[in-house]
Amino acid sequence: MFETLKEQPADKILQLMQLFKEDPRENKIDLGVGVYKDASGNTPIMRAVKAAEKQLWEAEQTKAYTGLAGDPAYGDAMVSLVLGDAVPRSQVAAAATPGGTGAVRQAFDMIRMANPAARVFVSDPTWPNHLSILKHMQIETVPYRYFDDETRGVDFDGMMADLDAVKSGDVVLVHGCCHNPTGANLNMTQWKALVELLLAKGAVPMVDIAYQGFGDGLEEDAQAVRLIASSVPECLIAASCSKNFGIYRERTGLLMAVAQDPAKQKLNQGTLNYLNRQNFSFPPDHGARLVTMVLTDDALRADWQAELEEVRNTMLGLREQLAGELQRLSGSDRFGFIAQHRGMFSRIGATPEQVQTMRDDFGVYMVGDSRMNIAGLNKTTVPILAEAIVKAGV
């Protein structure tokens, strides 16, 4: 049987992690996978998460199963974090998933069940694993223009023109904030125009929100997803706790299906439970429990928010420093977009050859499409990267 299997392409982001590990150079710089790093290159456990873990160790009495959708308190806490009071809780079906990727996968599964003919429109570019999962599931994917190679901002006119082809029942996948891989994001006027288009077309938005709190702030980063959820009859939202709680390996995510028609909530919840059961049964609990504890305890929550703000401001500071350094070295303003982008990533618009040159000559590891993880930098490495970018001819 196994001889019929074909070699599968390696995930480029994970492959880069390996290449970086194997590079013996001491001054190498890892701007690859989307993991937050502090100035000394460590990915710390957040203070509030550590404190919750200690409390949990003392207090937890059982490891018996929770529910198919996870602990309901986790769903409530996360729905509130992502959606605020944009929609009544009674309109939201929610299920815990193994990470944000699990939520994305379950969402695609639900789409396929509900409408096997649905096409999923994805930004060009999008997170490569979106495309990989869609291909694996044999769901038709249609790219829409997103990134303007000239300005390194959003090509909003191109995006709207391409989304004109959306038909009723199609799904439009958007990144709720901190677009991955580009770092370029819609403003609220553009989000409103997009919502109008989706309403006119009868399309179903699917929002992937994996970086809430990394862009302009926890509330600010949720504005788009809240606008969408409160405006359209139906939408899907895949949320991740990996980054904003720093619990990557705990695999903690949530899939939400929002429907204005309250009669659909029960059906949606039943479907989410069913899909969890088919794919992995009960979702992981440890990370979800920590998140619930942090979000529902005033002191832990305040400390978590403060640390998240530190992380966000550190990244913004690095963006400013890099843009400034590049302006100095290149004598031009063409890198100003780095300070405008938001989240962990920026696509800097280098060619694959230039990316390779930076890797070979400077030990700078960024993804082949020239996505760099800002959090992989510190004050000392910013000038080195700036020199690499300019010397590689970007």
Interface positions with ligand LMR (CB under 6 A): 13, 33-34, 127, 129, 180
Q: What is the nearest approach in angstroms of ligand LMR to the Cβ of residue 31? A: 10
Nearer to ligand LMR, 368 or 383 (CB): 368
Nearer to ligand LMR, 228 or 238 (CB): 238
Assess whether 263 carries a catalytic annotation. no
Tokens of 211: 């970086």
Q: What is the nearest approach in angstroms of ligand LMR to the Cβ of residue 17? A: 9
- Where residue 377 falls (left for φ over 0; alpha for ψ -120 to 50; beta otherwise) is beta
Marked catalytic residue, from 222, 243, 288, 388:
243
The residue whose Cβ lies closest to ligand LMR is 34
Residue 392 has a CB neighbour count (10 Å cut-off) of: 21
Q: What is the nearest approach in angstroms of ligand LMR to the Cβ of residue 129? A: 6
Assess whether 57 carries a catalytic annotation. no
Nearer to ligand LMR, 34 or 213 (CB): 34
Q: What is the nearest approach in angstroms of ligand LMR to the Cβ of residue 13? A: 4
Whether the Cβ atoms of residue 238 and residue 104 lie closer than 8 Å to each other: yes
* Alpha-carbon span 205 to 191, nearest angstrom: 12
Q: What is the nearest approach in angstroms of ligand LMR to the Cβ of residue 203? A: 25
* Alpha-carbon span 374 to 381, nearest angstrom: 11
Marked catalytic residue, from 77, 86, 118, 210:
210
Assess whether 210 carries a catalytic annotation. yes
Whether the Cβ atoms of residue 223 and residue 230 lie closer than 8 Å to each other: no
For the chain, the straight-line distance linking the first and the last C-alpha, in angstroms and rounded, comes to: 48
Whether the Cβ atoms of residue 349 and residue 13 lie closer than 8 Å to each other: no
| Backbone phi, psi, residue 385, to 5° | -65, -45
Question: What's the sign of the alpha-carbon dihedral 339, 344, 346, 351?
Answer: positive
* Alpha-carbon span 218 to 302, nearest angstrom: 12
Nearer to ligand LMR, 162 or 369 (CB): 369
Q: How many helices (H) and strands (E) does the chain have?
A: 15, 11
Nearer to ligand LMR, 248 or 337 (CB): 248
State the DSSP code for 242: T
Catalytic residues: 127, 208, 210, 243
